[in-house]
Chain A
């Protein structure tokens, strides 16, 4: 039994149907465009939790001057998806309130759409579009600080343009999109099993999250059943990935306020976790364990060792928050208000730190894990994002304990084959969405990936309004968004 309903509609019906779904508590999780023999197809995936509901609206567009009514005024994420599709396929969102380029790199030739029917090989770089039109803030004492895209540390490329007065940020523009790899295109016409290695590499620190979302989508499309122990092992792996990433973030946040002793200590714990990962799966970053139709686990993690690690983390968190200067730096820094977090469609710990109650482990379960209450905070500041991580570490260890201990779980029965499938997984950053479409010969026709970073990036400048420049690295780390997962 599939929880996904599919309706074929015409473009003119789209705004009303979308408004109806959004009003009914759905959020837009994904918009996938695809090429047809003639023209283009669009699939809008709306999802809601408790109970799990997924509604897909499909429509077809002509090959000549394809355009679609914009939903940007109904939903902020929709506007971002539409700009992405416009830049990659050339499908114009009509009446879009903010029609600037998003994914399009300024070296791409004019009129060249990398996902379009006649894209061909990647063209040589030119400078046809010119520099990005940054909004210039004017006024007495306003100056600009451009940072990146090449940074001093080992981080991914992103350009940040601060307009500041003194040290106070008036406006921040994050210009990303320097790492377009064409990964969605690489999926095309592969066997579903061969797509796994790509899915694992969408974002290096989220290999389980993306691999699992991909496998769930493929399994739905091909109606492949997965045994209960295998689904349970997947849930364990997902929590192991959350553990090592959250622990790393706790240390990095302390390091950004120059409290480096805790950074060294979390480094020690991270190494313990990576070794557990290697024992459990044979790979320190958990690659190769989740695969379509099943899970390959060498042995389950030892709950006692994880409990000891949990106590260790608890102590580190207490030391950090008991330090007056650290607490002062975290508290009230870069507040993301609840309304903004909800309107922007943020996901994961960023959303939950601002009071948005959403977690795919409860809302879109691939395995019934019993009573599960996601950690929730309402502060919306760096402190809340720090505490959410600390609480999720404890929750993950308890969950692994329960799953390895053999608590009763239930697996929803597989649906009939439908040539398309959707995977929703609560990765450590937030809800990951994959949607696959199969060709008649059972190869992949189209894979669309949405990393939570895609929806969370716009929240960073909002949270930073009227923060001070030297706090930016700390705030950025508290969001810790992926560049690679954002720019596919």
Chain B
């Protein structure tokens, strides 16, 4: 139990401090693969430091939804970082946060940001919010259904128990249900975190943006919170993918302090590898036409449904 609490604390710290570095690594990988020098992996942290030093400023005519959104999106990301099994499967909070709670918390952050964008009353805010909701409406069910496919084998929607079961029987991952769910989750991870081919995090073209269009009116510390939260959500999704399908090294019940510390290192390594793979893949991808994005996401939802079906019929 003590190591559980230690592990939970460590994974929150790892996500909070490491996420901007993950974004930095991904940008640097892209830059190098494209033949550019790149700004170095510390740049997102330098950007955050710069933004935090600026004076807080809110767009004229905005109210509490605008001001609460950055806090909510960062807060929910931190809570999710505490409850999902990244470093340890025996988080003391595991009992209160199962699959549905985690998905709902992530959705709460997205919805808060969309409401904040609507609160600005600008065309871009509304446009970004409407696009984000269209994506969210397809992403959230896919996350639920695909993880649900994994939970059938275990008989529980607790993420900790799903991962524990995989640790005990790693070969269970090599089932049709798991493979289908893994592909579905990978696609929604790309969509939910606003990566190419769904969204382009590097663009300055307002009219093409999804996620960025919602946060155009934020500046200074508020923008820093939003950027930090986006990075954390990316880390959490990648961490969850690795825990669900390749839980090697994760600390389980009865692990010692050393095992927990080792587990942090393994987590950092796994997430970094996934991030590098994602960034390298992005180099070869272009952004889909907006109307093709629902087709992609509907496809991923279908895969998730098939995963559920497979887990019933082929188990």
- B286 interfacial by beta-carbon distance below 8 Å: yes
Q: A152-B204, A153-B205, A469-B127 are in contact. Are A258 and B286 (CB under 8 A)?
A: yes
Min CB–CB distance B300 → chain A (angstroms): 17
Min CB–CB distance B137 → chain A (angstroms): 15
Closest partner residue, chain A, to B202 (CB atom) = A260
- B200 interfacial by beta-carbon distance below 8 Å: yes
Residue pair A153, B200 in contact (C-beta under 8 Å): no
> Please, what's the 1-or-0 string for A270-286, where 1 marks a CB less than 8 Å from any CB in chain B?
00000000000000000
A144 to B292, CA, bound (A): 23
Residue pair A145, B286 in contact (C-beta under 8 Å): no
- Report which residue of A144, A145, A151 has the largest number of chain B beta carbons within 10 angstroms of its beta carbon: A145
Closest partner residue, chain A, to B216 (CB atom) = A152
Closest partner residue, chain A, to B127 (CB atom) = A145
Min CB–CB distance B202 → chain A (angstroms): 7
A261 to B126, CA, bound (A): 31
- B47 interfacial by beta-carbon distance below 8 Å: no
- A43 interfacial by beta-carbon distance below 8 Å: no
List chain A residues, Cβ under 8 A from B208: 256, 470, 473-474
- B207 interfacial by beta-carbon distance below 8 Å: yes
Residue pair A264, B34 in contact (C-beta under 8 Å): yes
Residue pair A167, B205 in contact (C-beta under 8 Å): no
Chain A at the B interface: SS class: helix
- B2 interfacial by beta-carbon distance below 8 Å: no
Min CB–CB distance B48 → chain A (angstroms): 20
A469 to B207, CA, bound (A): 6
- Report which residue of B124, B286, B290 has the largest number of chain A beta carbons within 10 angstroms of its beta carbon: B286
- Report which residue of B124, B207, B287, B291 has the largest number of chain A beta carbons within 10 angstroms of its beta carbon: B207
- A329 interfacial by beta-carbon distance below 8 Å: yes
Min CB–CB distance A466 → chain B (angstroms): 13
- A185 interfacial by beta-carbon distance below 8 Å: no
Closest partner residue, chain B, to A477 (CB atom) = B205
Q: Which of A256, A261, A326, A468 contacts B291 (CB 8 A)?
A: A468
List chain A residues, Cβ under 8 A from B30: 260
A254 to B34, CA, bound (A): 13
Q: How many residues of B contact A (CB 8 A)?
A: 29
> Please, what's the 1-or-0 string for A231-263, where 1 marks a CB less than 8 Å from any CB in chain B?
000000000000000000000001011111100
Q: A152-B205, A470-B208 are in contact. Are A328 and B289 (CB under 8 A)?
A: yes
A128 to B200, CA, bound (A): 42
> Please, what's the 1-or-0 string for A142-168, where 1 marks a CB less than 8 Å from any CB in chain B?
011111000111000000000000010
- B288 interfacial by beta-carbon distance below 8 Å: yes
Residue pair B286, A147 in contact (C-beta under 8 Å): no
- A443 interfacial by beta-carbon distance below 8 Å: no
Q: A145-B123, A469-B127, A470-B290 are in contact. Are A264 and B205 (CB under 8 A)?
A: no
List chain B residues, Cβ under 8 A from A323: 286
Residue pair A152, B290 in contact (C-beta under 8 Å): no
- B33 interfacial by beta-carbon distance below 8 Å: yes
- A112 interfacial by beta-carbon distance below 8 Å: no
List chain B residues, Cβ under 8 A from A260: 30, 34, 202, 283
A325 to B284, CA, bound (A): 10
Closest partner residue, chain B, to A323 (CB atom) = B286
> Please, what's the 1-or-0 string for A301-332, where 1 marks a CB less than 8 Å from any CB in chain B?
00000000000000000000001011011000
Q: A144-B123, A258-B196, A264-B36 are in contact. Are A152 and B289 (CB under 8 A)?
A: no
- A472 interfacial by beta-carbon distance below 8 Å: yes
Residue pair A167, B286 in contact (C-beta under 8 Å): no
Residue pair B286, A257 in contact (C-beta under 8 Å): yes
- B197 interfacial by beta-carbon distance below 8 Å: yes
Residue pair A329, B34 in contact (C-beta under 8 Å): no
- B155 interfacial by beta-carbon distance below 8 Å: no
- B171 interfacial by beta-carbon distance below 8 Å: no
Residue pair B123, A167 in contact (C-beta under 8 Å): no
Min CB–CB distance B287 → chain A (angstroms): 4
List chain A residues, Cβ under 8 A from B36: 264
A470 to B292, CA, bound (A): 12
A325 to B291, CA, bound (A): 13
Residue pair A147, B33 in contact (C-beta under 8 Å): no
- B285 interfacial by beta-carbon distance below 8 Å: yes
A473 to B284, CA, bound (A): 21
List 3 tightest A-B contacts by C-beta distance, closest first: A258-B287, A259-B286, A473-B205
- For this complex, 28 residue pairs linking A to B, each with C-beta atoms less than 8 Å apart, are A146-B123, A147-B123, A147-B206, A151-B206, A153-B205, A254-B286, A256-B208, A257-B287, A258-B203, A258-B287, A259-B287, A260-B283, A261-B33, A261-B35, A261-B284, A264-B34, A264-B36, A265-B35, A323-B286, A325-B197, A325-B286, A325-B287, A325-B288, A468-B290, A469-B207, A471-B290, A473-B207, A474-B208
Given contacts A268-B35, A473-B207, 10 further A-B contacts (CB under 8 A): A143-B123, A145-B207, A146-B123, A256-B208, A258-B196, A325-B285, A328-B292, A470-B207, A472-B207, A473-B208
